[in-house]
Structure 1
Amino acid sequence: MTTAGDPGALPAGTPVSSLHEALDQCMTALDLFLTNQFSEALSYLKPRTKESMYHSLTYATILEMQAMMTFDPQDILLAGNMMKEAQSLCQRELDSLVQSSQYCKGENHRHFEGGVKLGVGAFNLTLSMLPARILRLLEFVGFSGNKDYGLLQLEEGASGHSFRAVLCVMLLLCYHTFLTFVLGTGNVDIEEAEKLLKPYLNRYPKGAIFLFFAGRIEAIKGNIDAAIRRFEECCEAQQHWKQFHHMCYWELMWCFTYKGQWKMAYFYADLLSKENSWSKATYIYMKAAYLTMFGKEDYKPFGDDEVELFRAVPSLKLKIAGKSLPTEKFAIRKSRRYLSPNPISLPIPALEMMYIWNGYAVIGKQPALTDGILEIITKAEEMLEKGPENEYSMDDECLVKLLKGLCLKYLGRVQEAEENFRSISANEKKIKYDHYLIPNALLELALLFMEQGRNEEAIKLLESAKQNYKNYSMESRTHFRIQAATLQAKSSLENGNRSLVSSVSL
């Protein structure tokens, strides 16, 4: 029997049994994935990824999920290539349907439609988040991305009843809890994320991936203890995919950082340094950073010494496809000052790295946590003022002012926050090494202005941050955040102008 009138995503003439078989196999693989049997799910799908849109997109989506959450360069390369192949396969299925005069929507059309929305949505959303300079190059060779369109496609795919729905949900959860948080302004549509997660967490209460997202949501809301419980549950839920454990260790490390519990944060950094190969340089740097936060009387585990650890960081540099990881490059640059026989200590390296990962947007939800971090920053500031001047003095003072300004902002002390951010630009010419502080201070000042409705001033600051500073640490990440802030400020400005015009018309 043939299915010329109901081909789903397979060519006209494909047996119905083959179509149902493809759907059943993908459902089986998806269930394996959601019950923590990650390797088995990928192995089950792989043999048919070259011939079946369903297998190809499911396989590519699982890889993309893994890449989004582990930030492993090899995962990212593999997922990108697989998604490209899946898109090509979808486009060839789509072309045959358009050309077929016999095609009509059958019972499996919803699965086909869900697959298209998943592929198109993921593709548009990913491209739309790239900084303008990268996007211009892609547009030159025929690629473009529309964030709103991508989100709409994924949201429509998530609301359906196809087996693609859960994949669309997971990509949306990655977008809301990771991408917009780490690479955006920290403003997350948390209600949407919770709404997407709830039915799947109910259905798979021990599903590691959903427990992980539950932990991310709690952390973003500032519920740190609840987040810790979720990440611990996630680790207990499965033992097959250790990378999931490592993702949880990374999150737990930051949760204990927010609480100022340096020994526990050190414990997770140490676990990562021993078990995970993503970035040994970053993990060793974090171990050293936490040791600097220990009190004088505190016992240092394993006899570790922060100076020796910092000195080891440059030798651990990893290169993927000839390029270093931005976080590693940052850690290596910061560690270099320990290479001298009489090193000058970094003031608060753990709290500086917390800024790189947008952690102040987390503690900002809890005044008590913000107060605790502000107290540590203020003590560091006092130590710098009392200490002898050296070649790093201005860099360290400006770093402290950036972090202090963030805490003050979240505590509602807006004028003081603005003063701290402005003082960094005022000392721009005196900064010797940490040039990233200047565009980031402009970015944070712009975000402060946006909260006050001063969007035109904010846009000017953002333009200055984008155009006037180059070749500094974590530049790409700063550009992602500048772009997100610019779009938000322009949108607010346009909405305000429309409201004004409407009121005048009335």
Structure 2
Amino acid sequence: MDVTEETARAEDEDHFEDAYDRIPTACRMDLQSAIQETQCALNLVLNNKFSEALDLLKPWWRDSMYHALGYSSILVMQAAMTFEHKDIQIAMATIKEALHTCQRFRKKNSVVGSLSSLISRQSNLQEEEMHAELCYAECLLQKATLTFVQDENMISFIKGGIKIRSSHQIYKDCHNVLNVTHDLTSQSDSHRQFEGGVKLGIGSFNLMLSLLPQRILRLLEFIGFSGNREFGLSQLREGTSGSTLRSILCTLTLLFYHTYITLVLGSGEGNLAEAEALLEPYRHKYPKGAIIQFYSARLAALRGHFEKACAGYQECVSSQQEWKQIHHLCYWELMWTHTYQQDWLQAYRFADLLCRESRWSKAIYVYQKAAILSMMSAEDVDKTGEDVVELFRQVEALKQRLAGKSIPTEKFAVRKSRRYKTSTPVPLVLPALEMMYVWSGFTIVAKRVDCSEALLVTIEAAEEQLRRDSQPSEFHVDDGCLVQMLKGLCLKHAGRLMQAELCFTHVLSSENRIRYDHYLVPFTLYELALLYRQQGDAAKALAFMEKAKSNYKDYSMESRLHFRIHAALNSLRSSPAASP
């Protein structure tokens, strides 16, 4: 790492990355060559050349830790996206072999036990040992992911948890090594690559752990886990700079956080400006890359540019045909983007594609398709040739189990669809809009005044229909409360706060009469708390948030609400006057 390394450091970042668009021929796979060749494979993936990336890594994956990590990462990603048993088995066998490859480069004792050795002895072997710890930790995380989806029992869940804990501990040890050795080796390219890997691991762990509600985090802290959101974000931000192998991975982690996690498991406060800035350089570097196109479309949707988003997702679908699973991600988003605009025929089209092509969650896909059809006129439903009642009746049999437990959103769909099991089904009220709320869609629609107003018209029409119901069913109160909560959301986002408060308080006053949809009360308390925060009444917001968190249990999607409450409480305590 002498003359060659100094030359590489003198080159700018664009040249560093572009150099790996070709496939180098390696005659000897030293650490630097392995990192460069894995960078080349990553570039191939980002250019939709998935098979070429595997072909590049395959010859060395049993002899090089980075080739092993890269090769297994692609197969694990594919298995997680397809959910096919065969793909999961192949990926699991590969990751086990990759762990063995990484293990050969690790010190015989742990990093903690060899800190003094690592600091005192600057050699190629020491660099390999440091990188082997990183690669081993990343492979452990991959194996944990596959362990969760491979089997459906609690033993597998525990095994996966142990692997995550081991990975977390290795990253903490590597972070300690980084702190101690920073001044000694800061000029080394190998050290900068190591530093990038540590920032990715430490940043991701801290960020994800910081999302967990306090009752879960207290338990995890007992066994060595801890999470600091700001520290995690800062580590990932630092990791995005420079030209290391993991720079783009830090960027993709932050993009996922800002465009999905903050919305589904938070209170919708993702930093879209930062996400745009992070994505911009890669738009130029990988203009046809499906992953980059997907995030560009997602950001357009989050800003309320639905037409632009739809065009972007369609471009993403057209950009490659090798990994159909990326098409499915786009279909999911297209289904929702058309739902936001109440373009039900188009939303149905993509829900139907998911039902036919994707294995991820048949129960959700079929329920969603039936829910969308429920929003359409009888004439339009007839054109599709679908039987809505029969679709709802299929949902329960399609439910999956993960680690011995049902997936919360599937359980919700199953419970709602049981209304169609009787000989005289009682139709659901606004089921597509209810699921839109579950996936935080109202926060997105709020960016478009025209779409929000159109939704309010649809909700008020359902409200009027319920009011005119001459023979109320046993679900009448529940349906009325659902309509009032959804109406309150539209009014809140429109700035009509007093009217929104009346809708929310109507739900709360009906608590004792709700028979089935008990989730409506704690979720409404949460929404009312956000409304009070928007009005600047932090004390009232905090009181309602705490009530939603502490006074209710065993209702649908309870854990999802606790994630959202945790995020909102953190935001409330740091900036009480901030709007949701």
TM range (shorter): 0.7 to 0.9
Shift of 1:24: 1.3
Structure 2 contact 29–64 (Cα < 8 Å) conserved: no
SS of 1:300's equivalent? helix
SS of 1:297's equivalent? helix
Q: Which residue of 1 aligns with 2:120?
A: none
Q: Which residue of 1 aligns with 2:473?
A: 390
- Give the structure-1-normalised TM-score: 0.88
Q: Which residue of 2 aligns with 1:156?
A: 238
Structure 2 contact 82–359 (Cα < 8 Å) conserved: no
SS of 2:185's equivalent? coil
Structure 1 contact 224–255 (Cα < 8 Å) conserved: yes
Q: Which residue of 2 aligns with 1:245?
A: 327
Q: Which residue of 1 aligns with 2:103?
A: none
Residues 395 and 67 (structure 1 numbering): CA distance in 2 closer, same or farther, change over 3 Å?
A: farther
Q: Which residue of 2 aligns with 1:25?
A: 37
Q: Which residue of 2 aligns with 1:104?
A: 185
- Counterparts in 2 of 1:47-126, with a 5 A limit? 54=66, 77-78=145-146, 104-105=185-186, 106-126=188-208
Shift of 1:25: 2.0
Q: Which residue of 2 aligns with 1:435?
A: 518
CA distance in 2, matches of 1:332, 1:68: 24
Shift of 1:38: 3.7
CA distance in 2, matches of 1:289, 1:98: 54
Structure 1 contact 212–234 (Cα < 8 Å) conserved: yes
Match of 1:460 among 537, 543, 561: 543
Structure 1 contact 177–188 (Cα < 8 Å) conserved: yes
Shift of 1:406: 0.6
1:328 maps onto 2:340 in alignment: no
CA distance in 2, matches of 1:204, 1:46: 24
Shift of 1:58: 5.5
Shift of 1:78: 2.4
In structure 1, runs of 5+ residues without a counterpart are 7-14, 496-506
Structure 2 contact 331–354 (Cα < 8 Å) conserved: yes
SS of 2:350's equivalent? helix
Structure 1 contact 122–171 (Cα < 8 Å) conserved: yes
Amino acid at match of 2:146: L
Q: Which residue of 2 aligns with 1:198?
A: 280
CA RMSD of aligned residues (A): 3.3
Q: Which residue of 2 aligns with 1:276?
A: 358
CA distance in 1, matches of 2:64, 2:224: 26
Q: Which residue of 1 aligns with 2:105?
A: none
Shift of 1:69: 8.7
Match of 2:494 among 408, 411, 416: 411
CA distance in 1, matches of 2:228, 2:78: 23
Structure 1 contact 114–157 (Cα < 8 Å) conserved: yes
Shift of 1:302: 4.6
Residues 447 and 96 (structure 1 numbering): CA distance in 2 closer, same or farther, change over 3 Å?
A: closer
Q: Which residue of 1 aligns with 2:561?
A: 478
Residues 124 and 394 (structure 1 numbering): CA distance in 2 closer, same or farther, change over 3 Å?
A: same
CA distance in 2, matches of 1:486, 1:47: 51
Match of 1:127 among 194, 209, 215: 209
Shift of 1:122: 1.0
CA distance in 2, matches of 1:282, 1:472: 19
SS of 2:30's equivalent? helix
CA distance in 2, matches of 1:50, 1:469: 52
Shift of 1:90: 5.5
CA distance in 1, matches of 2:386, 2:497: 40
1:351 maps onto 2:433 in alignment: yes
Match of 2:385 among 283, 303, 306: 303
Q: Which residue of 2 aligns with 1:11?
A: none
SS of 1:108's equivalent? helix
CA distance in 2, matches of 1:483, 1:301: 45
The worse-fitting range, judged by mean Cα deviation, of 32-41 and 70-79 is 70-79
Q: Which residue of 1 aligns with 2:155?
A: none
**Equivalenced residues, count:** 486
CA distance in 2, matches of 1:83, 1:38: 27
Residues 210 and 98 (structure 1 numbering): CA distance in 2 closer, same or farther, change over 3 Å?
A: closer
Structure 1 contact 169–196 (Cα < 8 Å) conserved: yes
Residues 202 and 70 (structure 1 numbering): CA distance in 2 closer, same or farther, change over 3 Å?
A: farther
Match of 2:311 among 219, 225, 229: 229
Q: Which residue of 2 aligns with 1:424?
A: 507
- Counterparts in 2 of 1:371-386, with a 5 A limit? 371-386=453-468
Structure 2 contact 80–146 (Cα < 8 Å) conserved: no
- Give the structure-2-normalised TM-score: 0.77
1:220 maps onto 2:302 in alignment: yes
Amino acid at match of 2:280: K
CA distance in 1, matches of 2:443, 2:343: 18
CA distance in 1, matches of 2:270, 2:310: 20
Structure 1 contact 408–417 (Cα < 8 Å) conserved: yes
Q: Which residue of 2 aligns with 1:171?
A: 253
Q: Deviations over 1:240-269 (max 9, x none)?
A: 111110000000000110111111111101
Structure 2 contact 84–359 (Cα < 8 Å) conserved: no
Q: Which residue of 2 aligns with 1:501?
A: none
Residues 392 and 220 (structure 1 numbering): CA distance in 2 closer, same or farther, change over 3 Å?
A: same
Residues 100 and 150 (structure 1 numbering): CA distance in 2 closer, same or farther, change over 3 Å?
A: closer
- Counterparts in 2 of 1:245-264, with a 5 A limit? 245-264=327-346
Residues 232 and 256 (structure 1 numbering): CA distance in 2 closer, same or farther, change over 3 Å?
A: same
In structure 2, runs of 5+ residues without a counterpart are 7-26, 89-141, 149-159
CA distance in 2, matches of 1:230, 1:153: 30
CA distance in 2, matches of 1:142, 1:43: 39
Shift of 1:65: 7.6
1:491 maps onto 2:503 in alignment: no
Amino acid at match of 1:452: Q
Percent identity of the aligned residues? 49
Shift of 1:52: 6.3
